[in-house]
Structure 1
Amino acid sequence: AVDQPQVARSAVARLSERSGARPRLAARLAYREGRLTAAIRALDGARGWRAARLRRWLQAETDMLEPDRLHIPELPGAGNSRPGTILHIVTDALPSTSAGYTIRTQEIAVAQRAADGDPRLDPHVVTRIGFPVTAGAIDGRRLVTVDGIPYHRLLPWVMPGRADTIAADGLKHAARLVTDVRPSVLHAASNYSNALIALALRDATQLPVLYEVRGFWEDTWLSRHSAGATSDLRHSDRYVRSRALETHCMQAADLVVTLGEAMRDEITERGIDPANILIVPNGVSREFLQPLPDPTALKSQLGINDGEYVVGLVSSLVAHEGIGTLLAAVKILGDRGVRIRALIVGDGPERGTLQRHAAQLGLDAIFTGRVPMAKVRDYHAVLDVFVVPRTPDRVCQLVTPLKPVEAMASGLPVVVSGVRALGEIVQDKVTGLLFPPLDAEALADALQLLLGHPELRRELGANAKQWVARDRTWEHNATRYRDAYARLGAL
């Protein structure tokens, strides 16, 4: 019942007062709900080594949500940096993890390496300590190259188990890498754990820090809980402290980069000087602007029949993507006599729930699971309409996703929920259609309009592709980054 707090609380309450497991379970439940102080207090008076170990672990988690916990002595040779060498500090990466976050990292680095200028940019990427082994990949290589981009991995012989020792060991390994790579700028991407590493390295090396805010992870955490719980959880220790720590990192960085206007406004409201914030939006590589491949073979493989319309998306399957609204709209269209299939490309924690929901609706929806990045355009070619049915959660209002930009570059007509961040990239009735979030009936109406008017689909798709080609390519973004690094004195 770990994701059903009321059920879990009831179960814990029925345990005997003499049960040694009761305080530990109560502490773990409080931790899952972000009530960190309550989690530690739940262990007051608890006996045994398990309770003592859990208390130390919880205390370390809480302590590491305070700023200025990471320090390292001055590094020898720190002033011997190579102009134009960039160290991207990220959470996870290709080839082990394929998602919007990791694709953005790769595309940025590839575009930077290809960009003209003197000195030439030399991007390197380093992932969090333990990745990808701690993410379940049995891959102990310390260096992997993806399309010419070196990905460095911080892999200790023994992985520490507490937040404080994980962060300290991660910093030590990152410091050794800095002395080898000799970057002229530290480019950290969300979340604060990467920014704190970069800021500690700056103290030891005097290298400038650019913090790229790709999302607000505390709001992503909030969106995983039921709507009724979010108002309370917004006051939880985890949410309040995580938000404060993110704000600290933004204020301490030499320059902040973010993805869109809504995100910039949010950062400005936290007290960061607008002059210190640069927008570098999500983009696409030039291959996305090429004609789509022939979908005939893949349609046959997926069991799509002649005359069936296909609507869907490529996405991580998480609650705030609102894919249940898409399934409900497809059900409505089917009841109206439209021959239609839903194609859901991707994987995530909501996949099982969504598949059960589709079955309950009587839909023959197609769930492909995760597909390689190189195959995404094959699935774009199958779709008649690309749908982004995001919920009105705060994270969706603020954060602009990558996947709809890729679909627009492919010339697909897009229908998106009318949250602010999506309104930044889709102009209603010009480059796509907007519908009210969570309104399956309105989504069904928008889809029926497009499916019944192929000339409108072509017009919206062509307009979207033209907009992306003009201003949303990684090639354009590489110039923005080069200007940012020059501003920091790294070139």
Structure 2
Amino acid sequence: MERGSDVLARSARLSGNAAMAAATASRSLREDPLTFAVQLARRFPAARTPLLAAARRARGSERELAETWLSGDLTSTRALLGEIAGRSGLGRLGAEIAHAAGRPELVADDTRIAPIARARAAWQLGEATRAIALLAEHAPKSRLHRVLRAELAMMTPGTRLRWNATDIAPTTPRHGILHLLTNSLPHTQSGYTVRSHAVLQAQRDAGLDPVAMTRVGYPVVVGKLGAAARDVIDGIDYHRALPPLLAPSPDGRLAQQAEALGRLARSVRPAALQTTTHYPNAVVAREVAEWLGTPWAYEVRGMLEQTWVASLGSDEARERAAASERFSLTREREAELASAADAVFTLSGSMRDDLAARGLPADRITLVPNAIDASLLDRRAPAPADARAALGLPREGFWVGSTSSLVDYEGFDVLLDAVARLRERGHDVRALLVGEGTARPALEAQAAALGLGDAAVFTGRVSRDAVVRHRDALDLFVVPRLDREVTRTVSPLKPVEAMASGRPLVVSALPPLLETIGGELAAAGAAVAPSDVSALSDRIGQIATQPNLRARLTSLGRQRAAALTWQRNGLTYRSAMRKNGADLPMWED
């Protein structure tokens, strides 16, 4: 039975979280109701119903556009935006949808559209000074003007964070590593949060005693009003920074983050701090570490500017963004902060090379690749047909697919084309895609147009345990990523998990994927050229019809996975941390 004090504490927490969420929402709603409604619909599907009802009262093309966007079909939305912009120009609602759908180039240069919407579009294209100039002329007292100026300052190399570090920093004894994370389990299920949890477990098993804190306002800002001040997952402590009211500006929120991290540091007295990309986390970690007088580490898991450019919805938008002021500043800022860190970790050789090209000495960068728990190698997965039967899927057929976010650059459109081509040749090949994302509606429409019917199954988002069961159901795991700047540096976790699970694997021949699978597996046929439907369909056909080839790919994959374990990574972290704090007893062998 819950004690009275626990009930009161939980009630107070709920009230505080609700007050913070309400104040933040009220501020946004008051300043720009339409923008708030569109952003709310993006984040919370349940909010789409009232917005759709309002959109149906609109006329002509804006009604069709709103209905298409709210249906989740991003590809059709982007195409329709181009048609409307070319024909009659976008209205206020159309401009907001263009921003949400990654087509800001249709708004930024159209002087018929309100200046604030054009400023937001210019910012999304990376044209930061232009965006701020528009606001300075037309809305100088707006919150957006203040926010973008603060954002620009914070991404500019040399800018330091102002925060209230008034109390005396803790002194010895020091023990453990304090992590600053963007988000975490159990409230967010993603590649980022899964890796973060694995890092924390690996460091714990290596004797580094880690504790984590997530970004200020999280997870209340993503709708988790019942969030506790601390979650314990598999024995790992995740602390939350939940102030009564979020600061209205980016630099203000980072100051709140630093204050919360500093308070936690006074309690746990860490020997070091560690954080992950992108740069706002590093800005905070550097300030708090200097105040504590401890070393800090920066784990570069991706290149923010590359991911941002890849998210845009047209070649023109991507080209403008890649040539923009914001792109250059972000690259320089990340390099500056990585250079300031006492230790730098990254996931792949291609990311290490990217950092080195920005001026960071390669010998200061430690590789900590995506990995699996060694116990996964001892697990014997069921036969794919048996796993499918347990999920209610047909036993027959040769099933190919992936467990992944469904976004454009993952290349699942290429996989569906390859499956259709094989079926035309008489092969009973079927696709299983496990996950959610902006590309899902377009992929489902593509599968229908190809006549795949029940031969293409989309599960949507599933639990962590269900991901394993669906991976077991595959005869062949495929990672068909497109050749983009972001995919040439970032290495995903899913191929390592597939290899460890005893599933043969085929990946696109991109540097981080080739590095992940290793040369022997690539030479055996586990890699094909990206975007090449013929090559992919031929390779799937070979693997489907040659049991010996499947067995070889499976055996080589398990051997490769055995070299990529979190137990090894834990020792790597310990060695790197010891290098930067060798006088600390906790890091002595």
Normalised by the size of structure 1, how large is the TM-score? Answer: 0.92
Partner residue of 1:11 out of 83, 87, 90 = 90
State the alpha-carbon separation in 1 of the partners of residues 139 and 367 from structure 2: 52
**What is the match of residue 438 of structure 2?**
349
- Equivalent position of 2:182 in the other structure: 91
Say whether the 8 Å CA contact 2:514–2:522 is kept in structure 1: no
Displacement, 1:54? Answer: 2.2
Q: Is the 8 A contact 2:195 2:370 kept in 1?
A: yes
Aligned residue in 2 for 1:480: 572
Matches within 5 A, 1:423-442: 423-426=514-517, 427=519, 428-430=521-523, 433-442=526-535
Q: 1:281 aligns with which of 350, 358, 369?
A: 369
Aligned partner letter, 2:150: A
Question: 55, 66, 84: which is aligned to 2:156?
Answer: 66
In the TM superposition, 1:31-42 aligns within 5 A as 31-42=123-134
**Equivalence for 2:268:** 181
Counterpart residue number, 2:201: 110
Offset of residue 484 of structure 1? 1.0
Deviation at 1:278, TM superposition (A): 0.7
Alpha-carbon displacement from aligned partner over 1:262-287 (angstroms, at most 9, x marks no partner): 11111111111222111111110123
How many residue pairs match? The answer is: 480
Aligned equivalents of 2:450, 2:409: Cα separation in 1? 20
Query: Is 1:238 the counterpart of 2:326 in the alignment?
Result: yes
Q: Which residue matches 2:400? A: 311
Instruction: Supply the distance in 2 between the matched residues of 1:391 and 1:363 (Cα, whole angstroms).
Output: 22
Maintained 8 Å contact 2:332/2:358: no
Runs of 4+ in 1 over 4 A off after TM superposition: 1-9, 12-15, 294-298, 428-432
2:74 alignment partner in structure 1: none
Paired with 1:430 and 1:45, the residues of 2 have a C-alpha distance of 60
Query: Would the aligned equivalents of 2:276 and 2:282 in 1 still touch at CA under 8 Å?
Result: yes
Shift of 1:430: 4.8
Distance in 2, matches of 1:306 and 1:376, equals 18
| C-alpha distance in structure 1 between counterparts of 2:143 and 2:367, whole Å | 44
1:443 maps onto 2:533 in alignment: no
In structure 2, stretches of 5+ residues that fail to align are: 1-64, 70-76, 96-110
Deviations 1:293-350 (A, max 9, x none): 3555652465532321110001112221111111111111111111121111111222
Give the counterpart of 1:385 among 451, 466, 476. 476
What are the within-5 Å matches in structure 2 for residues 103-182 of structure 1?
Answer: 103-115=194-206, 120-182=207-269
Letter in 1 for 2:211: H
Tell me: CA distance 1:81–1:63, structure 2 relative to 1, closer, same or farther (3 Å): farther
CA distance in 1, matches of 2:441, 2:248: 30
Aligned equivalents of 2:140 and 2:131: distance in 1? 17
Alpha-carbon distance in 2 for matches of 1:48, 1:86: 43
The verdict on how the C-alpha distance between 1:103 and 1:28 changes in structure 2, with shifts beyond 3 A counting, is same
Q: Quick one: distance in 1 between partners of 2:507 and 2:154?
A: 38
Give the Cα separation in 1 of the matches to 2:411 and 2:285: 35
* Deviation string, structure 1 residues 341-395 (Cα, Å, up to 9, x no partner): 1111111222222222222222232111222223332112100100001111011
Deviation for aligned residue 1:161: 3.0
Look up the match of 2:14: none
Match of 2:296 among 209, 233, 240: 209
Please tell me the residue identity of whatever aligns with 1:331. Answer: A
8 Å Cα contact 1:75/1:204 also seen in 2: no
What SS does the corresponding residue of 2:275 show, helix, strand or coil?
Answer: strand
Which amino acid in structure 2 is aligned with residue 270 of structure 1?
R
Q: Secondary structure at the match of 2:497?
A: helix
Distance 1:369 1:161, change over 3 A: farther
Counterpart of 1:356, as a letter, is A
Q: 1:302 to 1:331 in 2, by over 3 A?
A: farther
Displacement after TM superposition at 1:75 (Å): 4.6
Distance 1:71 1:478 in 2: 34
Task: Give the Å deviation of 1:414.
Answer: 0.7
**Percent identity over paired residues:** 38
CA contact (8 A) 2:178 2:210 kept: yes
Deviation at 1:216, TM superposition (A): 0.7
**Is the alpha carbon distance of 1:450 and 1:143 closer, same or farther for their aligned partners in structure 2, counting shifts above 3 Å?**
same
Counting only pairs closer than 5 Å after superposition, residues 195-274 of structure 1 correspond to structure 2 as 195-225=282-312, 226-274=314-362
Q: 1:446 to 1:436 in 2, by over 3 A?
A: same
Distance 1:12 1:31, change over 3 A: farther
- Contact kept in structure 1, 2:389 and 2:395, CA below 8 Å: no
SS at match of 1:187: strand
Separation in 2, partners of 1:121, 1:465: 28
Given residue 71 of structure 1, which amino acid in structure 2 is its aligned partner?
R
2:554 corresponds to: 461
Instruction: Note if contact 2:525-2:539 (Cα within 8 Å) is conserved in structure 1.
Output: no
Residues 71, 161 of structure 1: alpha-carbon distance in 2 compared, 3 angstrom cutoff: closer
1:443 is aligned with what amino acid?
A: L
Corresponding residue SS for 1:137: coil
Deviations 1:402-436 (A, max 9, x none): 11011011121111111111111223555651111
Runs of 5+ consecutive residues of structure 1 not aligned to the other structure: none
Q: Per the alignment, in what secondary structure is the counterpart of residue 58 of structure 1?
A: helix
Letter in 2 for 1:125: A
SS of residue in 2 equivalent to 1:59: helix
Give the TM-score normalised by structure 2.
0.77
Q: 1:130 to 1:413 in 2, by over 3 A?
A: same
Q: Determine whether 1:22 maps to 2:22.
A: no
8 A Cα contact 1:311 1:384, kept in partner: yes
Within 2, Cα distance between the matches of 1:267 and 1:55?
32
| TM-aligned CA deviation for residue 143 of structure 1 | 0.4
Q: Which moved more, 1:72-81 or 1:479-488?
A: 72-81
TM-fit CA distance, 1:26: 1.1
* Segment drifting more, 182-191 vs 231-240: 231-240
What RMSD over aligned residues (CA atoms) do the two structures have, in Å?
A: 2.4
Q: Equivalents in 2 of 1:419, 1:244: separation in Å?
A: 25
